[in-house]
Structure formats: C-alpha cells, structure tokens
Amino acid sequence: MRLLERDAAWEAEVAALREEIARLKGLKGRPKVKPSGMERATEGKARRGREKRRVGGGKTARLAIDEERIVKAKVATGWRFKGYQDFVVQELVVRLSTAK
C-alpha cells in the first residue's frame, strides 16, 4: 500500500516539474478544459442562447438563373481531378471585339 502512495506522489511531483519546465521554456501549459454542459442538457430546461434559426438559403437561392453552361477544361498530362465546386456568376457581359 505504501508503494502505491509513494508512486502516486512521485507521479504528481513529476507532472508538476514538467509543467514548471514548460513554463520556464515559454511553452504553453496544459489546456484548461471546461465542463461539457451535458448535465445542463439532461435537466430539461428551456434552450439557452440564440433561439431564432435562420430559414432559407443564401443570396444565390433568390437569383433568377437565365442560362447554365458547363465549361469543359483542357486537361494537360500529369494533371489530376481533385473535385469541383459550383458557383454563380452574376451580370457577366460577353461582347465581340470589333477592333483589329
């Protein structure tokens, strides 16, 4: 039993010394972890904080789309497909250049 007590005391001392060394070196210490709040959630009280929810989409959901085009890219050798992302272009004007 005394060995377990001595071992626990040494572990606490080593942890304290490591924290002091880290503090002296200017390193960050152990993070301060706050309780998760799960106890409050199980009590059944009313929701706290923001109660309004945003409903609807962003700006692009309200836009009227006149034309959709899929533009094929010229792929060089050695390129690889890393996914795609949809986007909306607003008020794009394309004109022919008459200057030579």
pLDDT higher at 40 or 35: 35
- Above 90 in pLDDT, residue 12? yes
Residue 11 predicted with pLDDT over 80: yes
Centre a 10 Å sphere on the Cβ of residue 19 and count the other Cβ atoms it contains. 13
User: What pLDDT, in 10s, does the model give residues 16-30?
Assistant: 999 889 888 988 767
| Residue matched to tokens 């008459």 | 98
At 17 the pLDDT is 93
* Best CA proximity match to 89, nearest among 72, 74, 67, 73: 67
CB 8 within 8 A of CB 14: no
Cβ atoms of 57 and 82 within 8 Å: the answer is: no
Structure tokens at 45: 């009280």
The answer to whether the beta carbons of residues 60 and 68 sit under 8 Å apart is no
Per-residue confidence at 100, pLDDT binned at 50, 70, 90?
Answer: low
Query: Would you state the structure tokens that stand for residue 13, as one six-digit string?
Result: 């001392």
Check pLDDT > 80 for residue 45. no
- Global pTM value: 0.30
Sketch the domain layout of the chain as residue ranges: 2-56
